[in-house]
Structure 1
């Protein structure tokens, strides 16, 4: 990330010192699934586009990739209405996909889609901060977990619980593919006063939460807390240019891959020199 851009972003964020009152913070955090349910009630399946780009960013999602078995098993957390599920099933005819979301309405949209095939996909409601994935998925049976723009919907104090939950179903050597909002993203800088709950955590107009990650935060969650190996962990910066208005700005994402250790040496290596 460009140091000059980061410095400017820090000044913008430092100018907003006001926080949402405690009562509303508790309300927004406790009603997260309800607010996403309302979101899908308003927007149905029309808001997000299908994610055809994922296999360009993560080679593990390409057909025949040697990382996983001939019939790999994937779990998508925060599946929404299936914008990731349908392209991945189409491209990978041998893959089985579990898909979960804490919005019951979103899961129903997946289950009633004409593309839904229970022989290749199982969608279910799950709040990954408290509902055990292993109650639905056999322990340590999943090759790939996709966490794409999902952990940002959780308050930071619940993110470690979500990681622990995922570890129960991830195979030794299995991988977590992560992409989400990064600190100093344009969307973070555009929040007006009255939307900040705490550092890097904001509430949108519709009541849904948005957390902005640093690579250090990810390392703390997945490596120090989770004991995973860090394969990749970096910022992805996409510059937006409006020539007519002579404005350019940055979308900032974090993209990472973490792998479950296979032996004791790898676990010790993963736990060295990191902090949450």
Structure 2
């Protein structure tokens, strides 16, 4: 489930900054990331007015909701069938945003990390290249995505292991030893899970982390431009939407992501990352909002 145009000007996105669903590119640019306050009261009022048009409840029928949930895994497999390895760019920004991912002069493979929603390896392979201290597990619910990871020329089980897993139903400990991980990354992953199942995913994460191990979270924030662009017909629940291809997107407040990790974790950091981006081709000026958080297992 779940690129970095770092050479571009600070306030610009490439012309391909929308995906095939009309969703906005979620990958941050190197020179624009900063933790800022969230919207001003005026901007919050404007965003609330936009969202009020979407209505209070779901904008689709019970049949549509049931169908979307039933075909959730298939939708991701079709996503990777359609886009193969060409959709996301490599995530070279992660070490900048999360110092825990940087090499510290330790022994090879002395730290163990699990990437949730590894996709086709856009996080795994750049990190393996830059940090020899890491051994990386990567899981995804899409069999097709995991096959792409294993087919990569850089893939070797001496450094990494990719496996299929739905983190809301499958036990991570079936592949990853219990309490063995130093780090778990969850980059634009929790938002793809139905809200009622998120706590199951977090408990699953807890089982494979060492005491003192950390979870690194980056995800969509409340009032993000992508949320404001959704139509009422795409709304599944409060802050929760279906894209045209059947994949999901939830938009977190800092409070809601902290609440997910309230049991068994302590908060290390939790903030909004806000940036203005411009798509010149489409004459769009957008404010992207993300949550970026770190939690430590107690």
2:272 aligns with one of 222, 226, 235: 235
How do residues 96-245 of structure 1 correspond to structure 2 at under 5 angstroms?
96-223=135-262, 226-241=263-278
Corresponding residue number in structure 2 for 1:31: 71
Residue 94 to residue 69, structure 1, CA distance change in 2 (3 Å): closer
Offset of residue 248 of structure 1:
3.1
Moved more, 77-86 or 28-37: 28-37
The CA deviation string for residues 147-194 of structure 1, in whole angstroms up to 9 with x for no partner, is 001111111000000000000000000000000111111011011231
Residue 242 to residue 78, structure 1, CA distance change in 2 (3 Å): closer
Corresponding residue number in structure 2 for 1:64: 104
1:11 aligns with one of 49, 54, 63: 49
The CA deviation string for residues 47-99 of structure 1, in whole angstroms up to 9 with x for no partner, is 00000000000000011178x99710000000000000001101111210000
**Inter-partner Cα distance in structure 2 for 1:247 and 1:34:** 32
CA RMSD of aligned residues (A): 1.8
Residue 96 to residue 246, structure 1, CA distance change in 2 (3 Å): closer
SS across alignment from 1:179: strand
Corresponding residue number in structure 2 for 1:53: 93
SS across alignment from 2:233: coil
TM-score, with structure 2 as normaliser = 0.83
1:43 aligns with one of 68, 83, 87: 83
**Inter-partner Cα distance in structure 2 for 1:156 and 1:259:** 22
- What residue ranges of structure 2 are gaps of 5+ in the alignment? 1-37
**Inter-partner Cα distance in structure 2 for 1:121 and 1:41:** 23
Residue 65 to residue 253, structure 1, CA distance change in 2 (3 Å): farther
Offset of residue 227 of structure 1:
2.2
TM-score, with structure 1 as normaliser = 0.89
* Higher normalized contact order (CA 8 Å, seq sep 6+, divided by chain length): 2
**Inter-partner Cα distance in structure 2 for 1:79 and 1:59:** 20
**Inter-partner Cα distance in structure 2 for 1:247 and 1:28:** 30
**Inter-partner Cα distance in structure 1 for 2:109 and 2:137:** 17
Query: What is the number of residues matched between the two proteins?
Result: 258
Residue 230 to residue 57, structure 1, CA distance change in 2 (3 Å): same
Contact 1:59–1:65 (CA<8 Å) still a contact in 2? no
**Inter-partner Cα distance in structure 2 for 1:163 and 1:69:** 28
Moved more, 11-20 or 202-211: 11-20
